[in-house]
Amino acid sequence: MQTNLFIRKRGGRGFTPAFPLLALYDPVLRLLTRERGWRSALLARLAPAAGERIIDAGCGTGTLLAEIGGAAPGAQLIGLDPDRRILVRAEAKLKRARVVATMHQGYLRDLDRLVASESAAKIVSSLVFHQVSLDEKRDGLSAMFNALAPGGMLLVADYGLQRGVIMRTLFRLVQLTDGFADTQPNADGILPVLMQETGFTEVAEADVFATVTGSISIYSARKPTDR
Ligand SMILES: C[S@@+](CC[C@H](N)C(=O)[O-])C[C@H]1O[C@@H](n2cnc3c(N)ncnc32)[C@H](O)[C@@H]1O
């Protein structure tokens, strides 16, 4: 069992919860991650359109789904998260925002099974990969690849390569909370490497945001059109 400062990851749950006190998750995130900056950049890159099937993998409290739905009424939205309690919060937030989304309880690695009948145009994931094991990072990317239509877009916003002493030191707060085993590969810059190994093309670190908890990168990639 992996024991972190605030939470016991494997204590019967099999995933790192977003935050021990879920009611505080949204305000804490705003404070610690310069959320407005990276979320609006993510939304701009996603450029959602009506009719597109878009998945938010590890959707948490549904903030991004609500923004996507607001920007593109008529997009077919799907949310996935293993935490039943957070899905309840997400559904309430989406209802308030009058955004319709289909919600699934599951892990990143379950994505292709969930959308087996119809592939997605775009998949987005924010602040999830730093919380999962190396195996889940690989399996999750592979499931995302399978769930995407040929030419489909993947966008991942997360703590990525931590450049320099200041960012690496600030990122320690996240590492003390979420554990070193899952977070260190992200800090060493593994996400774009894994994306390429999975078969994605046009892999790029599109934006980097310095925050008080380390830098958050937006990685973009595409599934080749002939796969
Ligand atoms: C820090 S929160 C981020 C939530 C949301 N994406 C956001 O940007 O606010 C991480 C989320 O990942 C979910 N999660 C943890 N392990 C996961 C896994 N293996 N597959 C999918 N989601 C996972 C957690 O339940 C939590 O909701």
Distance from the alpha carbon of residue 125 to the mean position of ligand 1, in angstroms: 8
Q: Choose one of 128, 135, 159, 186 to mutate for the ligand 1 pocket test, by most ligand atoms within 8 angstroms of C-beta.
A: 128
Residue type, 201: T
What is residue 26's predicted lDDT score, i.e. its pLDDT?
A: 85
pLDDT, tens only, 117-155: 789 999 999 999 999 999 999 999 999 999 999 999 999
DSSP result, 125-148: EES-GGGS-HHHHHHHHHHHHHHE
pLDDT, tens only, 61-119: 999 999 999 999 999 999 999 999 999 999 999 999 999 999 999 999 999 888 777 89
* Averaged pLDDT of the chain: 92
Residues with CB under 6 A from ligand 1: 15-18, 29, 58-60, 63-64, 81-83, 86, 107-108, 126-128, 131-132, 136
Closest CA to 200 of 158, 146, 161: 146
CA distance 141 to 198: 7
CA distance 81 to 75: 19
pLDDT, tens only, 170-218: 999 999 999 999 999 999 999 999 999 999 999 999 999 999 999 999 9
Residue 76 to residues 4, 96, 118, 174, Cα–Cα distance (Å): 37, 18, 11, 33
